[in-house]
Structure 1
Amino acid sequence: MTRHLAVMVVDDDEEDAMLLVYELERGGFDVRWVCVDTAEDMRDELERGGWELVLSDCAMPRFSGREALAELHASGLDLPFIVVSGAMREEDAVDALRAGAHDFIVKGRLARLLPAVERELREAQLRRRQRETEARLAETESCARSA
């Protein structure tokens, strides 16, 4: 069964982005994707909406993974953010996770990509359901107090 997935790839190398998309397609996803490499382009795409996942390189000439993560947080959207880097030191990976990235993948070890994406998509869905449940409970409590 094909699963649709909208992915924003933050990378300055479109061939690397296509490789990530190919891995997702091999895993059974029908991928709609865009590749951005500046904060402005990322903001525009986040505002346009419809994205379910962000895969970001760590170091690019005009933009960084940390800046991309900050843009995502500033948007208020709760999307899985996975750092995918070819030259990431362990300290950088830990810093990315502390800053709010959901996982990191080394480009040379893309076998971890699909399981990480599937896990993070499930986790994001659970967070959405929890927020919806909390909102319904708050609404019910508010109505009960008003009655």
Structure 2
Amino acid sequence: MITKDTFVRGSKNGATTVWMLAKIILPVYFVVTVLKHTGLLEYVAIIFAPAMSIFGLPGEAALALVLGNALNIYAALGVISSISLTAKQITILAVMISFSHTLFVETAVTKKIGIGVLPILATRIGLALASGIILNIVL
């Protein structure tokens, strides 16, 4: 049985988590929306479209990959939620980001614990790229 204390603690933890995620996702969503309305997102899309087409993704999806790799998954979610993607494209992007998210922080941690950085980085980025290509073919 759930006690009142458990419910209160769970609610507080849930609210804290929502606030933490909102502080990341909402600003990214806002910036991408501004880029979209100013036409700058179109330029980003045009520049990255050739590379992203290998994965079956539009050029705008490059923002999600860059922010997901540089910052974290939640920044990528902010981008994904603000651009129009099909279920196939969201699946491809999600799998790619799951392999290679938060590279700077996790690489620093990897180095700190004494694991070779280059093999780990190459594996993570390689898996992200390979999974994007394979999923684009299979889905």
Larger Cα-atom Rg: 2
Normalized per residue, the structure richer in strand is 1
Superposition TM-score, scaled by structure 2 size:
0.32
